[in-house]
Chains A and B, each alone.
Chain A
Amino acid sequence: MSDIKERIKNIYPAAEFEEGEDLLVIVAEADWHHVAERLKNEKGLEFDVLTALVGMDWKESLGVIYYLTSTSRGWDMISVKVIAAGDRDNAYIHSVSDLWKVANFQEREVYDLLGIKFVGHPDMRRFFLRNDWVGHPLRKDYDADPKLNPIRLEDEVNEDDTRSFEIDSNGQLKEVPGKVFAAEDYVVNIGPQHPSTHGVMRFRASIDGEEVKKVDVVSGYIHRGIEKLSEGLGYPQILHFTDRMDYMSAHQNRHCLCMCIEKALGLEIPRRAEVIRVMMDELMRISSHLLSFGCTAMDLGATTAFFYGFRERELVLDIFEKTCGARMSMNYNVIGGVIADLHPDFVKDVKHLIEIMPDRLKEYHKVFSGNIIAMNRLKGVGMLSREDAVNYDITGPSGRGSNWSCDCRKVRPYSIYSELDFEEVLLDGCDSYSRYMVRMKEIEQSCRILAQLVDNIPEGDIRAQVPKIVKLPVGRWYQQVEASRGTFGVYIESTGEKTPYRVHFQSPCFNLVGVMDLCCTGNMIADLITIGAALDFVIPDIDR
């Protein structure tokens, strides 16, 4: 890590550094694209993953904080701060979507919510909000008057026109019109109301015969504005939002936010709480993968497998219910530990679960995995190479199905994961089937972790002493965990108040939906559904 400063100075002598949790490099907007290219390609640096892209409004200026990770340097992470050029109405930053493809949707999100225009981005449309939305909500001076943006009941006009921005010879921002689809394209609309898109996602696919030529993702049908809401609430009050983003990773997401706040407060968590948290995370992962198994099967018409998956999932939910008091949206982790102690039946129930799971998994494989229809529909479909997985930052089972070792529990261990004995499941099929199989094998690994912990839950407190009013010191923090669908990140910027200045949730599903175009192109239109099922995105996690 120590040589990074030197190396960055070499490629960009004007770099300013700010010490913090991670090294923060301040780069001038005019140099940004050039520096980004060097950061990505320069030997010895090779920041090949754009982990997070956080749009910021510092009142006097707008800007973006980029979190870059270098897998070849042992997952070293730096952050880069770029302040937008131009005045507030015409703030712009050069796009890096040509270097890191994952930036494509993320820059559109920042454009939508903060109004920063990305120069060179091919498709600068709004991402979450209606085309006719007035204002950019994440700006600090956003006018929330409902008269400006009433509940509109007339249908939104499909936006086929897009735009990109470039800087002309006078240094002025210039808008260049473009088209999403060509006039001769045959476009099929899928969603937003269809269960096989796994929620309220909408795709517009142009097809040639049955072959998909392009998929346009229309998101925002469940954009609830969690990041803006969080800015007005105290830290303990924003915890519950994480349970409702990716509701199938509720424990992990909340664990992440709690860890981020605890890190900022410098809190030490009792060992018992750590063990309970990890066990809950793994139970959540099992429940999520079982649901994913059931839904993948159901999307292919195998309803029986769905019932099988849900049968075991109910056992996990029973464990949650006994200890947390709820089947879903458990609200279990709190700052400093967990909210309630384990139910007396917990150990017995978990043992029962890990005892029956191996047999049940065999049953699943018999019912579905080896089924000829499943094989034909999943094998060789939705190819995603390892390079693309890295470039699009596809983490979780989907990334590991492309043989990318990206398990946050291994590469950047948190909590007590470094002490545990488990394997990172990697498959090199790069197709839907590999993604599906990674999930099934991860259930085994989660059971293995649970088996190691179930008899070793230490006695002690379940919660550390936390001040009544939680105030974070001035600074910024970024924390990641391995959620059920990939790496989930939380960014908090604090000015020392009771409420955060900015909270950003970097959700894994947001990146997953970004490869729909890449994975579906060249496949049959019917495979769009199975590719989506195998990627297994949860829509409220995308939209937040």
Chain B
Amino acid sequence: MGVDHIKSMTREDFKDNEYIDSLVEELNATGANVMVGKFDDLINWGISNSLWPLCFGTSCCAIEFMSLGAARYDMARFGFEVARNSPRQADYVMVQGTIVHRMAPVMRRLYEQLAEPKYVIACGGCAVSGGPFKNSYCVVPGVEEIIPVDVFIPGCPPRPEAMFYGLMQLQRKIKVQKFFGGVNRKEKIDQFFAEHPEEKGQIS
């Protein structure tokens, strides 16, 4: 005896391939290979839902990030909960707090130690622009002076909800990226480092 239906799907729906056709059309229009495009989607779906942060809190924002990990805000709901202490195991670094001159080379090295694909979130006023300490003699005015940033979250410190919004923006960004084809992220990153060389004593 044949099965009448699978869960809530009616028999007719199985013959309806419209959505697949439209997807193929869309991908062809953007020049993507269907196979590679599908792999991209699968990988991006995986990455975006299991983003592991590197614990990198220098000041106040780090405490709010801890609130994110605790029960009320519970970032485990979105796959962010596995905070790693080693950059080798993390997907992205969320820079929480002021970066000062002494920290700058450490920050750059931590970024380089992250495995590809890697992302950066500048969280809070200090990481975005230097914040209230912008005019200080030893504060880096925004972490983008030293590493490429994907998402900025303003606030001093940002509320946990704002942090979630920023993290989800990163998820969205990852979902539309092209892992295989298209303009590779790597090129953009290489371009950033060409503009920000690690010369002795001077960055342009």
Contact = CB atoms under 8 A, between A and B. Distances in A.
Interface of A: 128-130, 133, 137, 142, 144, 149-156, 192-196, 199-200, 220-226, 228-229, 232, 240-241, 244, 247-248, 291, 306-307, 310-311, 313-314, 317, 327-329, 539-540
B189 interface: no
Interface string B69-102: 0111000000000010100000000000110111
Contacts, number: 142
Given A151-B146, A200-B58, A226 B203 contact: no
B150 interface: no
A151 B106 contact: no
A195 B58 contact: no
Contacts of B100: 220-224
Per DSSP, are chain B's interface residues mostly helix, strand or loop, or mixed?
loop
Given A224-B100, A226-B133, A153 B63 contact: no
Interface residue SS majority, chain A: loop
Interface stretch (B42-50, B134-142, B164-172): B134-142
Nearest to B202: A150
A224 B133 contact: yes
Contacts of A244: 59-60, 132, 156
Interface bracket on B: 35 or more
Given A149-B101, A241-B132, A244-B132, A225 B139 contact: yes
Nearest to B97: A222
A234 to B, nearest CB: 14
B104 interface: yes
A328 B64 contact: yes
Contacts of A151: 101, 104, 140, 145-146, 203
Given A150-B201, A155-B109, A194-B85, A222 B98 contact: yes
B121 interface: no
A137 B135 CA distance: 13
Interface of B: 55-60, 62-64, 66-67, 70-72, 83, 85, 97-98, 100-106, 108-110, 132-133, 135-140, 145-146, 156-157, 159, 198-203
Nearest to A321: B159
A128 B138 CA distance: 10
Contacts of B62: 199
Contacts of A149: 101, 137-138
B11 to A, nearest CB: 48
6 contacts: A151-B203, A192-B106, A222-B100, A223-B102, A307-B70, A540-B60
B133 A225 contact: yes
A240 B98 CA distance: 15
Contacts of B202: 150
A333 B15 CA distance: 68
A154 B101 contact: no
Nearest to B160: A327
Given A149-B138, A153-B203, A329-B60, 20 more contacts: A144-B137, A151-B104, A152-B105, A152-B201, A153-B104, A193-B55, A194-B55, A222-B97, A222-B100, A222-B103, A224-B98, A224-B133, A225-B139, A228-B137, A244-B132, A310-B71, A311-B72, A313-B67, A328-B64, A540-B97
